[in-house]
Amino acid sequence: MSKDRVLVAMSGGIDSSITALLLKELGYDIVGITLKTWEYSSTCSTGKETGCCSIDSFNDARDLAVQIGFPHYIIDVQKEFNDLIINDFIQEYMHGRTPNPCVNCNTYIKWDYLLKKANQLNCKFIATGHYAQIKSENGRFYVSKGKDEKKDQSYVLWGLSQESLSRTILPLGQYHKSEIKQLAADRGFKSLSEKRESYEICFVPDNEYRDFLKSRNPELEKTVADGNFVDSKGIFLGKHKGFPFYTIGQRKGLDIAVGHPLYVVKIDYLTNSIVLGTIDELKSSNLKLENVNFLKETNLSPEKEYLTKIRYKDVGTKCKIIQENNSLNIHFLEPVSSITSGQSAVIYDGDDVIAGGVIC
């Protein structure tokens, strides 16, 4: 008798494909699903269809399903993706913030639609190819780091609900990437093991968000051009191209020479002004977190030391936390650089994700 039925999110890449293969080998009843979130070629200046929403990726996912022997569905969620993810992406930049669309997509698109489809297809669980682990303790489910620290994706899963976590399987959390590539090769999927991975935002295929903003608003450059660069005292330093085209911590492309390096330390969208400062002015010991989702713990101790990551590749910094309802005041034990409004901050206790939220 087969084990429980599992709906596997499939992008056509090696990670989701091996996820399906491993679960099939373990005896699960597999159903594959691919979410079409974006018409990739519509924004790619090269005209080249690559990435998770290309025709090739859909075909690769379906071909694997046929070879292994399980049904596969493609679900069009482009409207929902545009309404919830892309519009938010644009609005965040237009308010001087730097969004994290991949976190939002996991929270508001992928898991929501996977669970809806799982219910329709009588699937008890859903599975993805993320390098992370899901654990439970004291009646709560939470995300923990994957075995492969270089590939760990626990940071982008902080927004998942308890229901989502309780029904999710992440088989790759126990593997290193090199092991997954070897598994693919050993099982006769050599081309899959050699497939190039994409690290771009799916709807910004050239990895140039400025061009994307301009494509969505042809008048944008004209509207925001000629704002002021100022220092922390408000002294005029020069003109910039428009506040949405800059991010906190940016140094290159400022075209300002004062005899020492300058960085973007603050963006004021109301006045279209950008504050430039030194590396020391870019550092801070405090941040406030809003829209907090609590995973392993719902009450954080003000006496305990935690570790907070303020970006995906951040190694994390020790901190103490004061909890105020659904917001958190984080005090770092040593200053950190480039705290950016709109980005995610994720709190860890060891390998376990305690909570996460959006930086104010």
Cα separation, 173 vs 241, in Å, equals 43
Please report whether residue 243 resides in a domain. Answer: yes
Please report whether residue 211 resides in a domain. Answer: no
Q: 66 with 179, same domain?
A: yes
Q: 72 with 176, same domain?
A: yes
User: What is the structure's pLDDT at 297?
Assistant: 94
Provide the β-strand partners of residue 35: 75
Contacts 24+ apart (CB under 8 A), 233-242: 237/262, 237/276, 240/274, 242/272
pLDDT tens for 139-169 read 999 999 999 999 999 999 999 999 999 999 9
Domain total of the chain = 3
CATH code at position 256? 2.30.30.280
Q: 352 with 306, same domain?
A: yes
Q: 254 with 293, same domain?
A: no
CA distance to 47, 114, 160, per residue, from 168 (Å): 36, 10, 10
- Stretch 26-41: mean pLDDT: 88
State which of 31-45, 59-73, 248-262, 341-355 shows the largest mean pLDDT: 341-355
Please report whether residue 68 resides in a domain. Answer: yes
Q: 232 with 97, same domain?
A: no
Structure tokens at 13: 């890449």
Residue 359 has pLDDT above 50, yes or no: yes
- Catalytic residue, chosen from 44, 52, 53, 105, is 105
Residue 45 has pLDDT above 50, yes or no: no
Cα separation, 244 vs 134, in Å, equals 37
**Which is nearest to 320 in space by CA: 305, 334, 307?**
305
User: What is the structure's pLDDT at 47?
Assistant: 37
- Catalytic residue, chosen from 44, 123, 202, 319, is 202
CATH code at position 297? 2.40.30.10
Parent domain of 259: 224-277
Structure tokens at 279: 């590396």
Q: 189 with 123, same domain?
A: yes
Please report whether residue 147 resides in a domain. Answer: no
- Stretch 21-38: mean pLDDT: 94
**Among 277, 292, 307, which residue terminates a domain?**
277
**Among 277, 297, 319, which residue terminates a domain?**
277
- Stretch 21-27: mean pLDDT: 95
Q: 113 with 16, same domain?
A: yes
- Stretch 82-109: mean pLDDT: 96
**Which is nearest to 340 in space by CA: 38, 100, 2?**
100
CA distance to 210, 315, 318, 343, per residue, from 93 (Å): 10, 26, 29, 11
CA distance to 26, 154, 248, 288, 347, per residue, from 329 (Å): 44, 21, 20, 5, 12
Please report whether residue 266 resides in a domain. Answer: yes
CA distance to 21, 51, 169, 274, per residue, from 122 (Å): 20, 29, 16, 53
Q: 264 with 328, same domain?
A: no
Residue 96 has pLDDT above 60, yes or no: yes
State which of 145-154, 188-197, 251-260 shows the largest mean pLDDT: 145-154
CATH code at position 113? 3.40.50.620
Residue 241 has pLDDT above 60, yes or no: yes
Q: 18 with 112, same domain?
A: yes
Q: 249 with 349, same domain?
A: no
Please report whether residue 229 resides in a domain. Answer: yes
Q: How many CB atoms lie within 10 A of CB 2?
A: 10
pTM of the model: 0.92
| 202: annotated active-site residue | yes
> Between 55-68 and 14-25, two packed helices, what is the crossing angle to 10 degrees?
20
What is the per-residue DSSP string for 127-186? E---SEEEEEETTEEEEEE-S-TTT--GGGGTT--HHHHHTEE-GGGGS-HHHHHHHHHH
Give the DSSP H or E segment for 222: helix 220-224
Please report whether residue 309 resides in a domain. Answer: yes
| 360: annotated active-site residue | no
Q: 256 with 347, same domain?
A: no
Please report whether residue 353 resides in a domain. Answer: yes
Q: 259 with 293, same domain?
A: no
